[in-house]
Amino acid sequence: MDVNRRYLLGISVAGAASALAMPREAAGVTQPVSSFGRDATQYGVRPGSPDDQTKFLQHAIDETARAHIPLWLPPGV
């Protein structure tokens, strides 16, 4: 069971890293690794920002759906 879980985690990290290379550099933060999937802040989504987040969220949805990764939306508006 442990072996399987580690194996699956490894897959998801590798997949996420390749899909996220560019936004991660743009955001300039460490890459989160989470069983929930990719953190939306990695795509420039800013919780609590007064600005319209539609463009960033759309990009995040497109990228994560393509990579078959869940998109995690952190607390905030």
Partner 1 sequence: MLRLQGGTQLVGVRGATRLLFSGGASMLSAEGASSIGLANIILDGNEIPLPTRRGLVHCLGGRDIRITDCEIAGSGGNGIWLENVSGEVSGNIIAKSATTAIVSFDAQGLQVTRNSILGTNDNGIEILRNIIGDDGTLVADNRIEDIKAGPGGSGQYGNAINVFRAGNVIVRGNRIRNCDYSAVRGNSASNIQITGNSVSDVREVALYSEFSFEGAVIANNTVDGAALGVSVCNFNEGGRIAVVQGNIIRNLLPKRPIGTAPDDDGGIGIYVEADTTVSGNVIENAPSFGIVAGWGKYLRDVAISGNVIRNAFVGIGVSVTPGAGMALVNNNVISEAPRGAVVGLDHARPITPNLAAEGAPRFAQVLVGTNAVRR
Residues forming contacts to partner 1 in the complex (CB under 8 A) are 36-37, 47, 52, 54, 57-58, 61-62, 64-66, 68-77
Contact 59, 2 (CB under 8 A): no
Closest approach of partner 1 to the CB of residue 14, in Å: 18
Closest approach of partner 1 to the CB of residue 47, in Å: 8
Please state, in angstroms and rounded to a whole number, the distance separating the CA atoms of residues 44 and 72.
Answer: 13
Nearer to partner 1 by Cβ, of 17 and 35: the residue is 35
Nearer to partner 1 by Cβ, of 3 and 62: the residue is 62
Closest approach of partner 1 to the CB of residue 13, in Å: 17
Q: Which residue has the tokens 């955001």?
A: 27
Contact 31, 17 (CB under 8 A): yes
- Of the candidates 36, 33, 30, 27, which has an alpha carbon nearest to the alpha carbon of residue 13? 33
